């Protein structure tokens, strides 16, 4: 498991760099850059969710924006109801809105996980290009639904005037909010590493590498994949909720296919199925967007070229370059 | 009389107009190697597919130790004790031999639903895998990625994966395919000893091995059983000689 150890080291180094950057910016009194670090952490977490399905499970989902957006809307809708003091539901039990982050996260995870369970149950019967297209189609359904539902802003999206909070924490302090996002990211990566080293991870790996062998060993690949897909959706949804709180806004763009594509690009650029890959991919994206985006509108072209170069010449992605040598399994 | 480890009753399967299995019946008894032979296209692979659960038969039944498993998934059948190897390797090449074999033991030793404890600390799994690797002579190669094993070693690792699940009946689909004489001899010896632990339904093209190993032979042609019996009877069977065995040593028969 030497590759594993190298992956872990590279991942820890990336996390340390991210935390150091945020702490440095905070010390220098640059909240803008602290928020940027929070954005990296959030996007990395969303992509880490996707990596569980795409990288470790071999399920190439082109619809993870559905979960990212659902998580965002869970945060936005809960906050809207709390702010307007309109209950979310009055039957069979009264469900009030909430502005407590912990409740919002649970709601986001449940919504995203459940949606992934349903989408997965239908689309995991296919594979390859069909799976890609079906996941895209489901995400588009959520997108158009959000656009055409005026109750929560429709096309204009839903502003969150008061950031959801946690008792005892000043969530308006950028560094505190970064720390929350960072803990989520670290927990996601630690959880992923843990699961992938356990029985479930072994079965998921085998479902990706040799489905017939797994079935012949007496383990049905389908429920293993479906569980991974649901977990993946739940993680990405929590990231979506954090993103809504960071921006004070959630809109249909969080559900768009462009978002799905970006998450996919983070995973691929960072290294498919590499633990810290999403961190590297999301950081590269946000850094290029900011520093190159200031110079030219065509910075996406550079990002595209980088993605192309890494896919063609560095098979382990950015994390592969950092950790050295391709992953085994 | 003891129930057969595996029994196939009247299995039929047609793909469009092509009859791949035509009312095939056979059984596999404790302690034996039952060889299934037949020319290419005889329907051996379709039959194995139906027994293992990948192909649904049009008619007939598959019984595992007396239990009807005809409608069960491959994984359910595996959990009920049906082990198999494939004609084309299904090993996870990037993973070590031990990791491959551990997957074989997964269902028997508790299933896939463990999210916390590291696999390498799962004693039941590592022990089952190491025992299976030792059984096929790969103990020294346990930490080698499957991709770095020789062809013969990979075939034996396939067998170890199946054995790690402690099967009560074993389907081996051409375990000697592509092996040199040395590897084939080694595998033959291994299977010869293995029959005492688990009965084997053996699909194989290497006739030397088949006649050395088999207690009984079933000959399949055009999806139908054309002969069935001990090796000596099969060797003497006129129909078998005409359709299959004769092709080698009686070239004139092919001209008829």
Give the one of B74, B102, B105 whose C-beta lies nearest to A216's C-beta. B74
Does B97 lie in the same domain as B65?
A: no
Match 């025992």 to its residue by tokens. Answer: B131
- Does B87 map to a domain? no
Does B119 lie in the same domain as B60?
A: no
What was the pLDDT predicted at A324?
77
Give the one of A218, A328, A329 whose C-beta lies nearest to B165's C-beta. A218
What is the C-alpha to C-alpha distance for residues A19 and A38, in angstroms, rounded to an integer? 10
Residues with Cβ within 8 Å of residue A224, at least 6 apart in sequence: A200, A203, A204, A207, A214, B112
Last residue of a domain, one of B142, B166, B190: B166
Please write the tens of the pLDDT for every residue from A170-192: 999 999 999 999 999 999 999 99
CB contact under 8 A, A213 and B161: yes
Does B178 lie in the same domain as B57?
A: yes
Torsional sign, CA A125, A131, A137, A138? positive
Does B178 lie in the same domain as B253?
A: yes
CB contact under 8 A, A202 and B106: yes
CB of B201 within 8 A of CB of B51?
yes
- Does B86 map to a domain? no
Written as one string, the DSSP assignment of A227-252 is HHHHHHHHHHHHHHHHHHHHHTEE-G
Give the one of B83, B84, B116 whose C-beta lies nearest to A198's C-beta. B116
Does B176 lie in the same domain as B75?
A: yes
Q: Which residue of A has its CA nearest to B102?
A: A202
Task: Work out the average pLDDT over A265-293.
Answer: 96
How many CB atoms neighbour CB B143 within 10 A? Answer: 10
Last residue of a domain, one of B166, B195, B223: B166
Last residue of a domain, one of B131, B166, B201: B166
CB contact, 8 Å: A102 with chain B? no
What was the pLDDT predicted at B3?
84
CB contact under 8 A, A219 and B115: no
Return the minimum-mean-pLDDT range out of A232-236, A292-296, B63-67. A292-296
**Residues of chain B contacting A215 with CB distance shorter than 8 Å:** 73-75, 78
**Residues of chain B contacting A212 with CB distance shorter than 8 Å:** 54, 86, 90
Does B118 lie in the same domain as B186?
A: no
What is the C-alpha to C-alpha distance for residues B68 and A1, in angstroms, rounded to an integer? 42
What was the pLDDT predicted at B246?
54
Residue A314's pLDDT band (boundaries 50, 70, 90)?
A: confident
Is the CATH code 3.30.300 the one for domain A2-323? Answer: no
**Residues of chain A contacting B110 with CB distance shorter than 8 Å:** 199
CB contact, 8 Å: B57 with chain A? no
Q: Which residue of B has its CA nearest to A212?
A: B90
CB contact, 8 Å: A210 with chain B? yes
Which one-letter DSSP state was computed for residue A53?
I
What is the C-alpha to C-alpha distance for residues A157 and A277, in angstroms, rounded to an integer? 31
CB contact under 8 A, A217 and B145: no
- Does B60 map to a domain? yes
CB contact, 8 Å: A200 with chain B? yes
**Residues of chain B contacting A217 with CB distance shorter than 8 Å:** 75, 78, 103-107, 161, 164-165
CB contact, 8 Å: A106 with chain B? no
- Does B107 map to a domain? yes
Closest CA–CA distance from residue B254 to any residue of chain A (Å): 38
CB contact under 8 A, B118 and A197: yes
Residues with Cβ within 8 Å of residue B80, at least 6 apart in sequence: B64, B65, B67, B69, B72
Per-block mean pLDDT, blocks of 10 residues, chain B (256 long): 88 93 96 95 93 97 97 97 94 96 94 94 95 97 97 96 97 94 94 97 94 96 94 89 62 36
CB contact, 8 Å: A216 with chain B? yes
CB contact, 8 Å: B73 with chain A? yes
- Does B231 map to a domain? yes
- Does B184 map to a domain? yes
Does B216 lie in the same domain as B107?
A: no
CATH code, domain carrying B198: 3.40.50.300
Does B118 lie in the same domain as B244?
A: no
CB contact, 8 Å: B191 with chain A? no
Number of compact structural domains in chain B: 2
Does B228 lie in the same domain as B172?
A: yes
CB contact, 8 Å: A315 with chain B? no
Closest CA–CA distance from residue A225 to any residue of chain B (Å): 11
CB contact, 8 Å: B100 with chain A? yes
Closest CA–CA distance from residue B87 to any residue of chain A (Å): 12
Return the minimum-mean-pLDDT range out of A156-160, A320-324, B249-253. B249-253
> How many contacts does A have with B, using Cβ atoms within 8 A?
111
Tokens of residue A163, six digits: 């950031």
CB contact, 8 Å: B218 with chain A? no
Q: What is the percentage of chain A residues whose pLDDT exceeds 90?
A: 85
Query: HSE-up of A94 (CA within 13 Å, CB side)?
Result: 5
Does B143 lie in the same domain as B205?
A: no
CB contact, 8 Å: B171 with chain A? no
Domain with B176, as residue range(s), is 1-81+168-256
Q: Which residues pair with A250 in a beta bridge?
A: A158
Does B159 lie in the same domain as B216?
A: no
Q: Which residue of B has its CA nearest to A328?
A: B94
Does B129 lie in the same domain as B47?
A: no
Give the one of B52, B108, B112 whose C-beta lies nearest to A224's C-beta. B112
What is the C-alpha to C-alpha distance for residues A288 and A279, in angstroms, rounded to an integer? 14
CB contact under 8 A, A203 and B103: yes
Residue A2 has pLDDT above 80, yes or no: no
Beta strands B82-85 and B169-173: pairing type?
parallel
Residue A131 has pLDDT above 90, yes or no: yes
Closest CA–CA distance from residue B66 to any residue of chain A (Å): 19
């Amino acid at each position: 498991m030497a590759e594993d150890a190298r992956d872990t080291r590279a991942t820890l180094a990336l996390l340390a760099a991210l935390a150091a950057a945020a702490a440095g910016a905070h010390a220098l009194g640059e909240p803008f850059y602290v928020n940027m670090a929070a954005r990296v952490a959030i996007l990395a977490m969303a992509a880490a969710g996707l990596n569980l399905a795409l990288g470790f499970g071999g399920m190439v989902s082109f619809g993870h924006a559905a979960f990212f957006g659902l998580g965002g809307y869970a945060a936005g809708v809960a906050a809207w109801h709390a702010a307007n003091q309109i209950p979310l539901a009055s039957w069979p039990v009264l469900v009030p809105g909430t502005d407590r982050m912990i409740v919002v996260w649970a709601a986001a995870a449940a919504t995203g996980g459940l949606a992934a369970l349903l989408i997965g149950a239908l689309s995991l019967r296919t594979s390859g290009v069909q799976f890609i297209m079906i996941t895209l189609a489901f995400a588009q359904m959520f997108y158009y639904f959000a656009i055409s539902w005026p109750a929560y802003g429709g096309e204009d999206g839903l502003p969150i005037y008061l950031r959801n909070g946690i008792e005892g924490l000043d969530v308006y302090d950028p560094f505190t909010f970064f720390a929350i996002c960072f803990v989520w990211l670290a927990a996601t990566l630690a959880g992923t590493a843990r699961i992938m080293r356990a029985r479930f991870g072994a079965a998921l790996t085998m479902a990706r590498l040799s489905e017939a062998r797994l079935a012949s060993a007496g383990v049905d690949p389908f429920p293993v994949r479906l569980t991974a897909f649901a977990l993946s959706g739940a993680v990405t949804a929590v990231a979506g909720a954090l993103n809504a709180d960071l921006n004070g806004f959630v809109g249909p763009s969080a559900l768009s296919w462009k978002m799905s594509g970006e998450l996919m690009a983070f995973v691929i650029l960072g290294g498919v199925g590499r633990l810290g890959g999403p961190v590297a991919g999301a950081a590269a994206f946000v850094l290029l967007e900011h520093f190159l985006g200031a110079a030219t509108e065509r910075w996406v072209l550079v990002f595209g070229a980088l993605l192309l170069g890494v896919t063609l010449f560095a098979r382990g992605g950015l994390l592969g370059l950092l950790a050295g040598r391709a992953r085994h399994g | 009389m003891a129930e057969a480890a595996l029994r196939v009753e009247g299995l039929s399967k047609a793909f469009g107009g092509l009859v791949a299995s035509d009312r095939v019946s056979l059984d596999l008894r404790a302690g034996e190697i039952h060889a299934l032979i037949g020319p290419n296209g005889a329907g051996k692979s379709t039959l194995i597919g139906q027994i293992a659960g990948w192909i649904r038969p049009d008619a007939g039944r598959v019984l595992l130790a007396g239990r009807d498993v005809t409608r069960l998934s491959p994984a359910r059948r595996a959990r009920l004790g049906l082990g198999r190897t494939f004609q084309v390797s299904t090993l996870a090449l990037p993973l070590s031999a031990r990791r491959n074999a551990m997957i074989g033991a997964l269902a028997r030793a508790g299933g896939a639903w463990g999210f916390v404890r590291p696999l390498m600390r799962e004693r039941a799994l590592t022990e089952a895998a190491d025992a299976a690797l030792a059984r096929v002579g790969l103990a020294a190669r346990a930490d080698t990625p499957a991709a770095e094993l020789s062809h013969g070693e990979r075939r034996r690792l396939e067998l170890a994966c199946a054995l790690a699940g402690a099967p009560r009946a074993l389907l081996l689909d051409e375990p000697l395919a592509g092996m040199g004489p040395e590897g084939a001899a080694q595998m033959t010896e291994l299977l010869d000893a293995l029959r005492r632990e688990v009965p084997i339904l053996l699909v194989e093209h290497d006739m030397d091995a088949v006649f050395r190993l088999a207690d009984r032979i079933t000959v399949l042609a055009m999806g139908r059983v054309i002969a069935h019996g001990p090796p000596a009877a099969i060797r003497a069977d006129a129909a078998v000689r005409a359709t299959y065995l004769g092709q080698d040593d009686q070239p004139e028969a092919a001209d008829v």
